Amino acid sequence: MSKGINTQAVLAMRGAGYYSERTAGARHVINDAGTMVIEALAQTPQTSLLRIADYGAADGGTSREMWDMVIGHHRANGDNRQIEMIYTDLASNDFSTLFRMMQGMQGDPVHAYQSRYENVFVHGCGTGFHQQLMADASLNLGFSATAMHYVSVKPMEIPTHVHAACADPESRAAYAHQAAQDWEHILLARAAELIPGGRFICLNFGIDEQGRYLGNTGGQHMFDHFHKYWLALFEDGSITADEYKRASFAQYYRTMDEFCAPFNDPDSAVRKAGLNLKSCHSKLTKCPYEAAFLAAGGVGGSMSNIDYANSLIPTMRSWSETVFRTALEGRGEDDINQIVDRFYDSYRDDVAANPSGHAMDYIHIILDIEKTA
């Protein structure tokens, strides 16, 4: 087994606003959590400065509306404290787009809260969330959505698939072990950063009580399709055996039991660091692109099959493309673009030929964690 394949320097959502513009489902999940965030903040100590962190925020567009609502709620209720918003992601992230969005210089300016409210200060941190990012006891509330399923390193390349959720037992066990270590590191880092009474709200991809996860909720299996089209490129000679194998997602979808394990053991390092799990539940969010297609009448309706495919595939591409591009490192840029386009075009054509069951439903495990001491 490999000692670990560090992908932190290359992983990133697609930039220039592409990710948030084409990821409506993630935005819906975050917006639904706004009330939860407001209630958590109301229960935290009234410090002179309100410091909030959004971990793994990508270009910031998917959470911008929610933070605008949260800040607007505080201002409307007479809370005029200075607010520091700290957005974190990897160094490869498109922070330039993030800063423009918050100031209303890109995208819809309606929710550009930095330009709408006084005494709101936006900062970026280009370091991964697996380690401590802020000074001890300096953070009122941490928030993360659809981010912490990424492992800090790939423990190995998966030989016969692209994702640990569908992997052989040896590969799955290796990713499970890495994910357990990473989850403890994540929690201990948040424990150090949070003030006593601070909160960490985490909306993470995972496996629910019915065994469902992102893209696998009863219809067509998204990751099996990713693997099918990547394997086809190898079988027709377009990519090498090494390139085929290197397209392993640096992800692991934890079960609810795996999320809760550090909190259930009173002797765990997490519990000793003062973290307490207030609640944990799963949430299914239906694919908004499939919903729009069905609302238009489905097959034979006012939205054509190809139009549906052209709306669905970009949302998948916005976060997965980096995996396949990275697997092709060493080739010329034009060659990479041509291969990656062929890969997603194959998936698009499949959806257009038979849209039934093709969707990207979300499964999140939602945790509310408190720093008690």
Whether the pLDDT of residue 14 is over 90: the answer is no
Whether the pLDDT of residue 276 is over 60: the answer is yes
CA 197 → CA 67, 99, 134, 263, distances in Å? 21, 30, 17, 17
pLDDT value of residue 26: 72
The average pLDDT across 170-189 equals 98
Q: Please give the share of the chain, as a percent, with pLDDT higher than 90.
A: 86
pLDDT value of residue 7: 52
- 77 confidence band (pLDDT: 50, 70, 90): very high
User: Is the separation of the CB atoms in 143 and 55 below 8 Å?
Assistant: yes
pLDDT value of residue 6: 53
CA 372 → CA 138, 227, 263, 278, 317, distances in Å? 14, 44, 13, 11, 40
Task: Using the structure block, give the residue that is written with the tokens 């936006």.
Answer: 122
Euclidean distance between CA atoms 257 and 242, whole angstroms: 35
Whether the pLDDT of residue 225 is over 60: the answer is yes
Q: List the beta bridge partners of residue 366.
A: 203, 281
Q: Please give the share of the chain, as a percent, with pLDDT higher than 70.
A: 93
The average pLDDT across 222-236 equals 98
Euclidean distance between CA atoms 203 and 146, whole angstroms: 6
Tokens of 10: 């290359």
The average pLDDT across 165-178 equals 98
pLDDT value of residue 161: 98
pLDDT value of residue 28: 84
Whether the pLDDT of residue 160 is over 80: the answer is yes
Q: Strands 82-88 and 120-125: what pairing?
A: parallel
Task: Using the structure block, give the residue that is written with the tokens 């729009």.
Answer: 292
Element (H, E) at 16: none
pLDDT value of residue 20: 47
pLDDT tens digits, residue range 21-63?
Answer: 555 667 788 999 999 999 999 999 999 999 999 999 988 988 9
The average pLDDT across 237-257 equals 97
Whether the pLDDT of residue 310 is over 80: the answer is yes
pLDDT value of residue 24: 62
pLDDT value of residue 243: 98
**Cα 60-365-208 angle, rounded to 5 deg:** 135
SS3 state of residue 158: coil
Tokens of 195: 């003030």
Q: Which domains can be identified in the chain, with CATH numbers?
A: 5-218+248-287+360-371 (3.40.50.150)
Buried b or exposed e, range 263-281, using 16+ CB within 10 angstroms: beeeebebbebebebeebe
Question: Dihedral (C-alpha) 281, 294, 166, 310: value to the nearest 10 degrees?
Answer: -120
Q: Which position has the higher pLDDT, 182 or 19?
A: 182
Euclidean distance between CA atoms 111 and 331, whole angstroms: 40
| Residue ranges with strand state E in the chain | 5-6, 49-55, 82-88, 120-125, 139-145, 153-154, 194-207, 254-255, 275-285, 362-371
pLDDT value of residue 3: 53
pLDDT value of residue 156: 97
Whether the pLDDT of residue 293 is over 60: the answer is yes
CA 137 → CA 56, 196, 211, 372, distances in Å? 20, 7, 37, 12
Whether the pLDDT of residue 11 is over 80: the answer is no
Say how far residue 229 (Cα) sits from the centre of its chain. 23
Taking the model in full, what pTM does it have?
A: 0.91
Euclidean distance between CA atoms 355 and 132, whole angstroms: 44
pLDDT value of residue 318: 87
The average pLDDT across 330-337 equals 97
